[in-house]
C-alpha cells in the first residue's frame, strides 16, 4: 500500500498521521497494519528503524473507541527506554482520539501507578516484572483486552523473561489478538510462539532491500587501531553530519574516545553499561533535543532506541557479530529517511568486516578521505548554527500538534470528587465546543487537564477564565 488512506482508518488517525508527516507506509507497516486491523495473530521479523512501533500503534489506536475507558491493549517490552518510546508513539498517533496510554515500570512507586490505573487507561506499556506485580495485586483488569503485543520478543527469551511471559499469558483472554515483534527469528522462537498463538501469520520484512534503499554504507581502511582517531575526524569534518552516533566494542574504548573528543571541543556525550539507566535516558533525550550532536556508545543502544534524524553512524570498532552491525547502522536511515554509515576497519578487523558483507549480501565501497582546515571551520560553524536553531525551537515548544491541540489546566480535581464525565459535561455546555473537540482528559488530586482539539483551544482560553464543573467554579489556563 502506498498510502495510509488505503487502510480504511478513522478520520482522527489519518489526521494525526498527516500532522506527524507520516505520508507513505513503510514495508513493515504495509504488511502488519491490515493483519492487526483484522485481529489476526502475527509474528513479525523486522529490525528497528523500519517503522515497527507505528505498525502496531496505528491499528490498535484505530480499534479503540473514542472516550472508551477500558483497557484494550497491553504492550510488553524488555526495557524502560523502549517502553517510554512506545508510549510516546501511541500517544501521538492516538491523541485526536483521546487515547490514554500508561507506562508501568519497575523502580517507580506502585501506589502512583495503581492510582493512574484506577482512573482508567486504554493502553498499558509495561516491563514484565512490574506488570506481574499489578496482576497479582488485582490493580489491572485484562478481561476486555483486544491486543497483547510483545516487542523485542527475542530479547525476552534470551534474557530470562520466559517465566514472566508465561505468567502474563495465563491472564490474557483467549479472544485477544497476539502480535510478537522481533529483530531475529529462529526455529526455537517459532516453537515458543507455537505455544502462545494458533495459526499465526509470519511476516518477514526484506531488510536487505531496506538497507540498500535507505542507508549508504562506506568503509575506510585504517592500518592500525591508533590511527582511527584521525580517520574519525576526517569523516566528521568532510561530511559535516548534523548528528552522529559512534559505536565502540567496549566501554573502555567509549570512555577514551569521549575524553579525547571532549578535550578537542567536540559537543559529545557517552553512554555504556556502567552509566545508570536514568542517566542514559537523560543523555538520549538531550541528544534527541540536539543539545549536543555526537553520541558515543557501546552496543547498549544499537537496538531498540528510537532516535529520529541521525545523519551518520560511525563504526569506530567493527563488531565480530554481523547482526550487531545491522542493528548499529539501523540507527540511521529510519522511517523512510536516507542515512549514512561509515566503518573504520583496521587490518585486524578485515575478516569480521568481510563476514558482514557476506551476511548483508552487500559489497561495501571503500573510500579514502582527508579534511583540510577549511572543512574543519565549516563543520564547527555548521554545528554551532544547528544548535542555535534547535535551542530556539525548543524555547518555542516543539509540538507537532501545536495549534491543533491545546492542553487546558482546570483548577479542580479528585479531592472535589470530580470525574471525567463531569469535565465532559462542563465543557460540552460551552458555546462552540462539542464532544468531538475534547481530547485526553486526566484527573489529578487538585486539578485536571484536557486537550482541546480542532484549533479551538486558544479561542476558548480567550473567551473564558473560569468554568462551572459540578456546580463549582474552576479557573482555567493553558497547561505549561
pLDDT of 95 higher than 50? yes
**Could you tell me the residue ranges of all domains in the chain?**
4-205, 209-395, 406-478
Tell me how far the alpha carbon of residue 18 is from its chain's centroid.
Answer: 18
How many residues does this entry show for the chain? 480
Kindly report, residue by residue over 318-356, the tens digit of the pLDDT: 999 998 898 888 888 775 678 899 999 999 999 999 999
DSSP 310-341: --EEEESS--SSHHHHHHHHTTSS-TT--EEE
Residue 288 is predicted with a pLDDT of: 85
Judged by average pLDDT, the poorest of 36-50, 92-106, 392-406 is: 392-406
Spatial neighbors of 245 by CB under 8 A, at least 6 apart, are: 294, 295, 296, 297, 301, 307, 310, 312, 313, 314, 328, 331, 332
Judged by average pLDDT, the poorest of 51-55, 211-215, 380-384 is: 211-215
Cα distances (Å, whole numbers) of residue 440 to 98, 100, 102, 409, 452: 4, 7, 12, 12, 8
Most confident among 56-65, 442-451, 465-474 (mean pLDDT): 56-65
Given this chain, do its domains 209-395 and 406-478 carry the same CATH topology?
Answer: no
What confidence category does residue 439 fall into, taking pLDDT thresholds of 50, 70 and 90? confident
What confidence category does residue 396 fall into, taking pLDDT thresholds of 50, 70 and 90? very low
Q: Does domain 209-395 have CATH number 3.40.50.300?
A: yes
Residue 397 is predicted with a pLDDT of: 46
pLDDT of 312 higher than 90? yes
Spatial neighbors of 184 by CB under 8 A, at least 6 apart, are: 45, 154, 323
Residue 207 is predicted with a pLDDT of: 61
Kindly report, residue by residue over 238-261, the tens digit of the pLDDT: 999 989 999 999 999 999 999 999
pLDDT of 392 higher than 90? no
Distance, in Å, from the CA atom of 101 to the CA atom of 125, rounded to the nearest integer, reads 7
Residue 221 is predicted with a pLDDT of: 96
CATH of 406-478, one of 3.40.630.30, 3.40.190.10, 3.30.1600.10, 3.30.70.330: 3.30.70.330
Q: Are 44 and 28 in contact (CB under 8 A)?
A: yes
Residue 428 is predicted with a pLDDT of: 79
Give the pairing of strands 177-182 and 42-45.
parallel
Cα distances (Å, whole numbers) of residue 32 to 35, 94, 133: 5, 18, 31
Helix, strand, or coil here: 466?
strand
Q: Which residues pair with 448 in a beta bridge?
A: 410, 443
pLDDT of 13 higher than 50? yes
Q: Give the fold, CATH level 3, of 4-205.
A: Rossmann fold (3.40.50)
Distance, in Å, from the CA atom of 307 to the CA atom of 337, rounded to the nearest integer, reads 12
Kindly report, residue by residue over 359-368, the tens digit of the pLDDT: 888 899 999 9
Rounded to the nearest integer, the mean pLDDT of the chain is 87
Sheet architecture: strand order including 339-346: 268-271, 294-297, 244-247, 312-315, 339-346, 215-222, 365-366
pTM for the whole structure: 0.69
Of 199, 167, 163, 165, whose CA–CA distance to 182 is shortest?
A: 165
What confidence category does residue 274 fall into, taking pLDDT thresholds of 50, 70 and 90? confident
Amino acid at each position: 500500500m502506498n498510502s495510509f488512506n488505503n487502510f480504511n482508518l478513522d478520520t482522527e488517525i489519518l489526521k494525526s498521521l498527516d500532522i506527524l508527516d507520516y505520508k507513505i507506509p513503510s514495508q513493515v507497516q504495509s504488511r502488519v497494519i491490515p493483519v492487526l486491523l483484522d485481529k489476526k495473530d502475527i509474528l513479525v521479523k523486522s529490525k528497528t528503524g523500519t517503522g515497527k512501533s507505528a505498525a502496531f500503534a496505528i491499528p490498535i489506536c484505530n480499534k479503540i473507541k473514542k472516550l472508551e475507558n477500558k483497557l484494550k491493549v497491553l504492550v510488553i517490552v524488555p526495557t524502560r527506554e523502549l517502553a517510554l518510546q512506545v508510549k510516546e508513539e501511541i500517544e501521538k498517533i492516538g491523541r485526536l482520539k483521546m487515547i490514554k496510554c500508561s507506562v508501568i515500570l519497575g523502580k517507580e512507586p506502585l501506589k502512583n501507578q495503581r492510582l493512574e490505573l484506577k482512573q482508567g487507561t486504554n493502553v498499558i506499556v509495561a516491563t514484565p516484572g512490574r506488570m506481574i506485580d499489578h496482576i497479582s495485586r488485582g490493580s489491572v483488569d485484562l478481561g476486555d483486552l483486544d491486543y497483547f503485543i510483545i516487542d523485542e520478543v527475542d530479547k525476552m527469551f534470551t534474557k530470562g523473561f520466559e517465566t514472566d511471559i508465561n505468567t502474563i499469558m495465563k491472564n490474557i483472554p483467549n479472544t485477544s489478538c497476539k502480535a510478537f515483534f522481533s529483530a531475529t527469528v529462529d526455529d526455537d522462537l517459532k516453537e515458543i510462539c507455537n505455544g502462545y498463538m494458533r495459526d499465526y501469520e509470519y511476516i518477514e520484512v526484506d531488510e536487505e532491500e531496506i538497507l540498500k534503499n535507505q542507508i549508504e554504507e562506506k568503509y575506510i581502511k585504517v592500518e592500525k587501531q591508533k590511527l582511527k582517531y584521525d580517520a574519525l575526524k576526517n569523516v566528521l569534518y568532510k561530511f559535516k553530519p548534523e548528528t552522529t552516533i559512534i559505536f565502540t566494542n567496549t566501554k573502555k574504548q567509549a570512555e577514551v574516545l569521549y575524553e579525547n573528543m571532549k578535550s578537542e571541543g567536540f559537543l559529545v556525550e557517552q553512554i555504556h553499561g556502567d552509566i545508570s539507566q536514568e542517566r542514559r535516558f537523560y543523555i538520549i533525550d538531550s541528544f534527541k533535543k540536539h543539545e549536543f550532536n555526537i553520541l558515543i556508545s557501546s552496543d547498549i543502544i544499537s537496538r531498540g532506541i528510537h532516535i529520529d534524524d541521525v545523519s551518520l553512524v560511525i563504526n569506530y570498532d567493527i563488531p565480530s557479530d554481523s547482526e550487531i552491525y545491522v542493528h548499529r547502522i539501523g540507527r540511521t536511515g529510519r522511517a523512510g529517511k536516507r542515512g549514512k554509515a561509515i566503518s573504520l576497519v583496521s587490518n585486524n578487523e578485515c575478516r569480521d568486516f568481510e563476514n558482514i558483507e557476506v551476511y548483508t549480501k552487500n559489497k561495501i565501497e571503500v573510500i579514502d578521505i582527508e579534511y583540510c582546515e577549511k572543512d574543519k571551520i565549516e563543520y564547527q560553524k555548521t554545528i554551532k548554527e544547528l544548535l542555535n536553531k534547535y535551542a530556539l525551537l525548543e524555547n518555542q515548544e516543539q509540538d507537532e500538534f501545536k495549534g491543533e491541540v491545546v492542553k487546558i489546566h482546570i483548577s479542580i480535581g479528585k479531592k472535589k470528587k470530580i470525574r471525567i464525565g463531569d469535565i465532559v459535561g462542563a465543557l460540552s455546555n460551552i458555546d462552540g465546543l462539542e464532544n468531538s473537540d475534547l481530547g485526553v482528559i486526566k484527573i489529578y488530586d487538585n486539578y485536571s487537564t484536557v486537550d482541546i482539539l480542532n484549533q479551538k483551544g486558544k479561542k476558548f482560553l480567550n473567551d473564558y477564565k473560569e468554568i462551572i464543573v459540578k456546580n463549582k467554579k474552576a479557573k482555567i489556563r493553558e497547561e505549561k
